[in-house]
Amino acid sequence: MTMKLTTDPSAATLLPIAKKEGVSTVWDRHRAMQPQCGFGQLGVCCRICWKGPCRIDPFGDGPQRGICGADADTIVARNVIRMIAAGAAGHSEHGRHVALALQGVAEGRLPAYQIRDEAKLRAVAAKLDICTEGQDIPAIAAAVAKATLEDFQNQDHDAPCNWIEASLTKKRLERLQALHVLPHNIDAVITQIMGRTLVGCDADPVNLILGGIKGALADFDGMCLATELSDALFGTPSPVITAANLGVIKPDAVNIAVHGHNPLLSEVVCEVAGQMDEEARKAGAKDGINIVGICCTGNEVMVRHGIPLAANYLSQELALITGAVDAMVVDVQCIMPSVSEIGACFHTAVITTMAENKIPGATHVDFKEETALESARRIVATAIDAYKRRDPRRVNIPDFKQTAIVGFGVESVVGALATLNAEDPLQPLIENIANGNIRGIALFAGCNSTQVAQDSSFVTMAKKLAANNVLMLATGCGAGSFAKHGLMTQEATLEYAGDSLKAVLTAIGTSAGLNGPLPLVLHMGSCVDNSRAVQVAVAVADKLGVDLDQLPLVASAPEAMSEKAVAIGTWSVALGIPTHLGTMPQVTGSAKVTELLTQTAKDLLGGYFLVELDPNLAADKLLEVIEERRKGLGI
């Protein structure tokens, strides 16, 4: 039974305990929800006004138009672009927080933060075309923050956002400009989507989808700036050896799980935990404080500091069922509201921190950048207090953890390649792609979903692509899956990589001082860090003088579920990348929208969605796409 729900080995220990304790998990609720609403699955349910809800009969017998006259194409298109708007809002709100924090640091207002990576800040300034000559670090930070915040303020429709302009190939920008889908202002574009999808507004599915693509590109803009400014503030990732899965929770430590997305909170919690370690020991925790990560906050601190990852999305509740998490500190996004109830079943303090993200039953510690240290101290003290209430008889920490070598940002990938060719670091990568040692590159991203046995599609696809010599990058819960299942190890490279891929990864890893190959899948970070993968692709495309839609590059979200994944997938398509989805998107109630996203997009943008629920077939299809692209390049 367990294996149908999840392939995470720690679930086999913990699900029976959940049952015994009377705790319902995401999988219980999924089962209770069956059968799920078919109209919703097809995207033909419209709740945009309250003459409705309306739904279109997919079999053609019942109503083909809603009460206002909207047909399935209009309804599906409106629904999907509202998802994009929500996803873009989440990512760019995260980005805005980081940009405002950078501004605060520049102005000396935020004692908890500093510019930890000055070189990165300078590189970002150069990228944004900001002159830094004779400027000190605070002045550069101020100028970078200003240029970034313009992406939320610019009112000139013809002037694209600064970050997107600095982040794509020239050809791609021209192509997107010609379609009028380059965003000029993240907030405005999101607002436009909400406005044009009101009752009685935009009814043209093509026009709606183009508006959605613009929203998705605003999402991309928000991600680029979130990633790069976080690097400047908190450090740029470099390879680090750590571990993943629930076995990283320690029986004799005060365990604090940081969960959500935004590093502004988790970074300070990590720092303060170090300072309060002695207090935890005094409370009886002989291993002091142990921070573990969940979801993308987990990925952020994992790639920057080697903090171990306890869980990806679907196993967040299992972390609590170990009975050994003393505090779960959450910020924004992907936090199941059920965690407060489960925490209450045990001794766990579930702590919300963001004014706009509260959960009934959780403790709220208001987090503001200005008073971050105080809040973090309160959070850590709450965890130590909770630890004192922990019942050791209810502790069940599964004995599963895997080593994971993580932290492959653009800088570290280029740095590793530079050990082979210092003058022209990209050359070895390009050579190996051209000669076929590496057939292509696949970026795995996105969530877990209860529609797929947790992690199974990620792992199945990765093993097949590896055997076929595809270089793999990963972010988000995809990265979490691979880390938990041991695919971010050198052993995995030796076991699963095809011969030529193995040879390349070994050559790079060895010359970069790793004493063996690079791991089979390179962990690039959180969801916003998908922008890192694009940066690598843009560098390769620029060097070859081609556009992104010519590269043997594919993306896959085999277990996607979040509206954010809809936004990411759509910009991926807009950048020219064939993008696989392994869960059924809620658009199939409109043949027109489905065709737009899976076929017309190919002509307009070069990228397109490819939906395949079977991970084996999906891998085959991506391999075919890669070969087609190679042919196009004549390699």
Residue 513 is given by DSSP the state T
Sign, Cα dihedral of 370, 375, 380, 383: negative
Q: Which of residues 104-123 bind ligand CUV (CB under 6 A)?
A: none
Indicate the residue among 11 and 429 with the shorter CB distance to ligand CUV: 11
> Applying CB under 6 A, does 527 fall inside the site for ligand CUV?
yes
Q: Does 183 bind ligand CUV (CB under 6 A)?
A: no
Decide the pairing of beta strands 579-581 and 553-557.
parallel
Q: From the list 128, 273, 295, 302, which residue makes contact with ligand CUV (rule: CB under 6 A)? A: 295
CA distances from 463 to 68, 149, 306, 625 (A): 49, 42, 25, 17
Shortest Cβ 484–ligand CUV spacing (Å): 13
Per-residue binding letters, 438-457, with ligand CUV (x by CB under 6 A): --------xx----------
Q: How far apart are CA 437 and CA 497, in angstroms?
A: 11
Q: Which is nearer to ligand CUV, 125 or 447 (CB)?
A: 447
Is residue 296 part of the contact set for ligand CUV (CB under 6 A)? yes
Match 């916003």 to its residue by tokens.
Answer: 528
In this chain, which of 163, 313, 458, 571 binds ligand CUV, going by CB under 6 A? 313
Taking the least distance from each CB to ligand CUV, the nearer of 474 and 504 is: 474
Q: How far is the CB of 447 from ligand CUV (least distance, A)?
A: 3
Q: Say which residue the tokens 């959780």 belong to.
A: 362
Helices 118-127 and 205-234, axial angle in degrees (round to 10): 150
- Nearer to ligand CUV by Cβ, of 525 and 552: the residue is 525
Minimum distance from residue 562 beta carbon to ligand CUV (Å)? 4
Cα–Cα distance for residue pair 95/86, rounded to 1 Å = 14
Shortest Å, Cβ 310 to ligand CUV: 13
Q: Which is nearer to ligand CUV, 190 or 280 (CB)?
A: 190
Partnered with residue 351 across adjacent β-strands are 329, 363
Cβ neighbours of residue 573 under 8 Å, at least 6 residues apart? Answer: 213, 579, 597, 601, 605, 607, 608, 609
Instruction: State how far the Cα of 551 lies from the Cα of 633, in Å rounded to an integer.
Output: 8
Q: Is 526 in the site for ligand CUV (CB under 6 A)?
A: yes
Degrees to nearest 5, angle at CA 429 with 423 and 434: 120
Residues 528-567 that bind ligand CUV (CB under 6 A): 562, 564-565
Closest CA to 574 of 607, 549, 527: 607
Closer Cβ to ligand CUV, 300 or 326, answer by number: 300
Report the nearest approach of ligand CUV to the CB of residue 460 (Å). 18
The secondary structure of residue 600, as a DSSP letter, is: I
CB of 22 to ligand CUV, least distance (A): 26
Pairing of strands 349-352, 289-294: unpaired
- 15, 76, 121, 334: residue in contact with ligand CUV (rule CB under 6 A): 334
Residues between 462 and 521 with contacts to ligand CUV, criterion CB under 6 A: 476-477
450 vs 490 by CB, closer to ligand CUV:
450
Q: Are 374 and 503 in contact (CB under 8 A)?
A: no
Contacts of 455 (CB under 8 A, 6+ apart): 6, 7, 8, 312, 448, 481, 484, 485, 559
* Contacts (CB under 6 A) with ligand CUV, residues 566-625: none
Report the C-alpha gap between 416 and 411 in whole angstroms: 8
Residue from 82, 79, 77, 172 nearest 595 by CA: 77
Nearest distance in Å: CB 337, ligand CUV: 14
Residue 523 contacts ligand CUV per CB under 6 A? no
In the complex, minimum distance from the CB of residue 444 to ligand CUV, in angstroms, rounded to a whole number = 10
- Can you tell me which of 261, 390, 532, 629 binds ligand CUV, judged by CB under 6 A? 261
What b-and-e string marks burial along 427-439, b requiring 16 or more CB atoms within 10 Å of the CB?
ebbbebbeeebbb
Q: Which is nearer to ligand CUV, 290 or 312 (CB)?
A: 312
For residue 259, the minimal CB distance to ligand CUV (Å) is 9
Nearer to ligand CUV among residue 242 and residue 469 (C-beta): 242
CB of 224 to ligand CUV, least distance (A): 15
Q: How far apart are CA 336 and CA 388, in angstroms?
A: 26
- Burial class of residue 549 (count of CB atoms within 10 Å of its CB; 0-12, 13-18, 19+): buried
Using the rule CB under 6 A, is 97 a contact of ligand CUV?
no
Number of residues that bind ligand CUV (CB under 6 A): 15
CA 405 to CA 491: how far, in whole Å? 11
Q: Establish if 327 lies at the interface with ligand CUV (CB under 6 A).
A: no
Q: How far is the CB of 283 from ligand CUV (least distance, A)?
A: 31
CB of 8 to ligand CUV, least distance (A): 14
**Shortest distance in whole angstroms from residue 452 CB to ligand CUV:** 12
Closer residue to ligand CUV (CB): 220 or 313: 313
- Residue 436 DSSP symbol: T
Answer whether the bond into residue 53 is a cis peptide, omega within 30°: yes
Site string for ligand CUV, 403-442 (x = CB under 6 A): ----------------------------------------
- Nearest distance in Å: CB 143, ligand CUV: 29
Q: What gap in Å lies between CA 352 and CA 330, rounded to an integer?
A: 5
Q: What's the min distance (Å) between Cβ of 225 and ligand CUV?
A: 16
User: Nearest residue by C-beta to ligand CUV?
Assistant: 447
Between 46 and 334, CB nearer to ligand CUV: 334
Among residue numbers 6 through 65, which ones bind ligand CUV (CB under 6 A)?
none
Strand pairing report for 45-46 and 54-55: antiparallel
Q: At what angle do helices 410-418 and 499-511 cross, to 10 degrees?
A: 90
Q: Which is nearer to ligand CUV, 476 or 582 (CB)?
A: 476
- Nearer to ligand CUV by C-beta: 397 or 474? 474
Residue among 469, 474, 437, 438 nearest 459 (CA): 474
Q: Rounded CA gap, 120 and 238, in Å? A: 13
Cα separations (Å) of 579 from 4, 444, 459, 598, 619?
A: 26, 10, 17, 9, 12
Give least dist CB 97 to ligand CUV, A: 15
| Cβ closest to ligand CUV, residue 380 vs residue 528 | 528
Q: Which is nearer to ligand CUV, 562 or 570 (CB)?
A: 562
Task: Report the DSSP beta bridge partners of residue 65.
Answer: 71
d(CA 435, CA 451): 39
Which residue lies nearer to ligand CUV by CB, 112 or 533? 533
Residues that bind ligand CUV (CB under 6 A): 261, 295-296, 312-313, 334, 446-447, 476-477, 526-527, 562, 564-565
